[in-house]
Chain A
Amino acid sequence: MNTAINSGHLVFLLNGAMWTLVLSLLAFAGGGLGGFVVALGRTSPIKVLRILSSAYVQLIQGTPLLVILFLTFFGLPTLGFSITPLFAAALSLTIYVSAYLGEIWRGCIESVPKAQWEAAECLALSRVQRMFKVILPQAVRIATPPTVGFSVQIIKNTSLASVVGFVELARAGQLINNSIFEPFAIYMIVALLYFCLCFPVSALSKRLERTGAARLRTLKAASA
């Protein structure tokens, strides 16, 4: 039996890293859509929508992702749905991400200077026009740095999908460890691969934050 880490193991880990990226993208796409709805609900003029979306955010942010994942993976089948590990992971990450992104984006929508809202109203734009033509284009620019920053959290949190047996990077490491039992070396390599995935994104978000902060200042100064 071969007990050293060989190139085949590295290929297997890289393949796992690819699935980590796929799952991250699925979570970002699903969570982004959900988060957009949550953010609109949180800033809606209709009280019921505000209460519902805020309750949703409180509920999800007060529950560990691991429990949401177990709830979908073990719970849904007993209710008669048959689901794969990938679907369970993507669904629970979507739910989780939508609450956090929704809350981040709400802050961004609300930080568009008040004069912009009033100006849009003075121009007799409807609520929908005001949101889509005036507020959102500005909110998107404010939202970019924190959204990129949160993507790092998404990539890291996909590691929990390993717990329900979806073979992404962390699970690939566990499987290799089961065959050669070199846990410390393997998990260090896995950690390094995660670092390679996350660090560029963190660095980008830090850079965007610096330029974004300057832009927001000029925006505020211009409309003050």
Chain B
Amino acid sequence: MTLDFTAILARWQMLLDGLALTVQLAAVTTLTGFLIGTLCAIARRSDVSALRWVASVYIEAIRNTPFLVQIFVVYFGLSSLGFSFSAVTVAIIALTINVGAYTAEIMRAGFDAIHPGQWEAGECLGLSRTQTYWHVALRPAMERVYPSLTSQFILLMLASSVTSQISAEELTAAANFIQSETYRPFETYIVVALIYLALSLAMRVVFWAFGLAVFPRRRRLGTNL
């Protein structure tokens, strides 16, 4: 048989809608996941043992179970508690919970790599623990682990394909629909794979540009720390 892409490309509107949702999912959960992850990293390094314990249980539980199962637990867990959210909301919650745990481990490594002198200096200046994290540690910690963060958030964007399983109408769900209409699965998934590839390259560029803007030291030296 020969490859025929016309039927798929004729449904470009559907692909575009799916792509838009994938981009939104990735953008929103990158921010929420980074927030949750950084807070958990701080909790993980806290002096309060209860906080440390809660954060470790969360991180280990998420890092050792598949995202597919997590999304089902969240989806059915929320509905059995009486909440009824749309598939997209559930997808955002599940992706945030998932990537938060991975980001927590990355940011913890970043905070651990800050020189003890920096923490002491913060203390000597009379900064509170929160102020030290915010004004002293956060940016250099991010700077050190920035490549890992970039990869993690690209993996997050790719993982958003799994949310098609709870019928969030993102790119993979659009592909499933198109292939069932056109009976051209091979061509459909090739097109979609290429879109994902382009998206992950685009994310790399965006993260690189963001890094240049936010970490001037990296720009000046042209090297990692």
> Please, how many angstroms separate the alpha-carbon atoms of A163 and B69 in the complex?
12
Is B146 interfacial (CB 8 A cutoff)?
A: no
- Cβ of A45 under 8 Å from chain B: no
A contacts with B: majority SS: helix
B207 within 8 A of A: no
Listed stretches A33-41, A56-64, A126-134, A216-224; interface member: A56-64
Q: Does any Cβ of B come within 8 Å of A87's Cβ?
A: no
Q: Judging by beta carbons under 8 Å apart, are A159 and B175 in contact?
A: no
Q: Can you name the residue of chain B whose Cβ is closest to the Cβ of A190?
A: B69
Which of A152, A173, A188 is B64 in contact with, Cβ under 8 Å?
A152
Return the chain B residue nearest A77 by Cβ: B185
The verdict on A64 contacting B77 (CB below 8 Å), with A191-B65, A194-B64, A194-B69 known, is no
Interface pick from A4-12, A66-74, A112-120, A140-148: A66-74
Q: Does B49 contact A (CB under 8 A)?
A: no
Does B152 touch A at the CB level, under 8 Å?
no
| A-side contacts of B75, CB under 8 Å | 183
- Kindly state whether residue A54 has any CB partner on chain B within 8 Å: no
Distance A67 CA – B195 CA, assembled complex (angstroms): 11
- In angstroms, Cα B63 to Cα A191, docked, is 11
Is the pair B186, A71 in contact by a Cβ cutoff of 8 Å? yes
The interface residues of chain B lying within 8 Å CB-to-CB of A158 are 66
Q: Is the CB of A79 within 8 A of B172?
A: no
Contacts of A80 in B (CB 8 A): 1
Residues of the A chain whose Cβ atoms lie less than 8 Å from the Cβ of B66: 156-160, 170, 194
Among A68, A78, A195, contact of B61 (Cβ-Cβ < 8 Å): A195
Chain B 161-193 per-residue mask, 1 if CB under 8 angstroms from chain A, else 0: 110110000001001100100011110011011
User: Which of A78, A157, A160, A184 is in CB contact (< 8 Å) with B185?
Assistant: A78
Docked-complex contact A74 and B69, CB < 8 angstroms? no
Contact B80 A156 (CB under 8 A): no
Q: Which residues of A contact B193 (CB under 8 A)?
A: 63, 67-68, 71
Report if A62-B184 is in contact (Cβ < 8 Å); known contacts: A191-B70, A199-B60. no
Asked if B73 contacts A191 (CB within 8 A), the reply is yes
Within the assembled complex, what's the spacing in Å between the Cα atoms of A170 and B165? 12
The winner among A64, A70, A157, A170 for most chain B CB atoms within 10 A is: A64
Q: Does B32 contact A (CB under 8 A)?
A: no
Give A158's nearest chain B residue, CB to CB. Answer: B66
How far is the CB of A174 from the nearest CB of chain B, in Å?
8
Contact in complex: B1, A79 (CB < 8 Å): yes
Q: Which residues of B contact A19 (CB under 8 A)?
A: none
The answer to whether A71 touches B190, judged by C-beta atoms less than 8 angstroms apart, is yes
Q: From residue 76 to 90 of chain B, which have CB atoms closer than 8 A to chain A?
A: 76-77, 80
- Say whether B56 faces chain A, with CB atoms less than 8 Å apart: no
By the criterion CB–CB under 8 Å, are A62 and B201 in contact? yes
Q: A64 to B161, Cβ gap below 8 A?
A: yes
Query: In the complex the two chains form, is B189's CB within 8 Å of A74's CB?
Result: yes
Residues of A within 8 A of B199 (CB): 62
In the assembled complex, B68 has its CB within 8 A of some CB on chain A: yes
Who on chain A is nearest to B199 by CB?
A62
B64 touches A199 (CB 8 A): yes
Q: List the A side residues contacting B164 at CB < 8 Å.
A: 66
* With A67-B189, A198-B65 already in contact, 5 other A-B pairs whose C-beta atoms are closer than 8 Å: A67-B172, A79-B1, A156-B65, A183-B75, A202-B64
Provide a sorted-by-A list of 17 A–B residue pairs whose CB atoms are within 8 angstroms.
A58-B197, A64-B172, A64-B196, A65-B158, A66-B161, A67-B172, A70-B172, A71-B189, A79-B186, A152-B63, A159-B68, A170-B68, A183-B72, A187-B76, A194-B65, A198-B65, A199-B64
The 7 A-B residue pairs whose C-beta atoms are closest, nearest first, are A74-B185, A75-B186, A183-B76, A159-B66, A198-B64, A64-B161, A62-B200
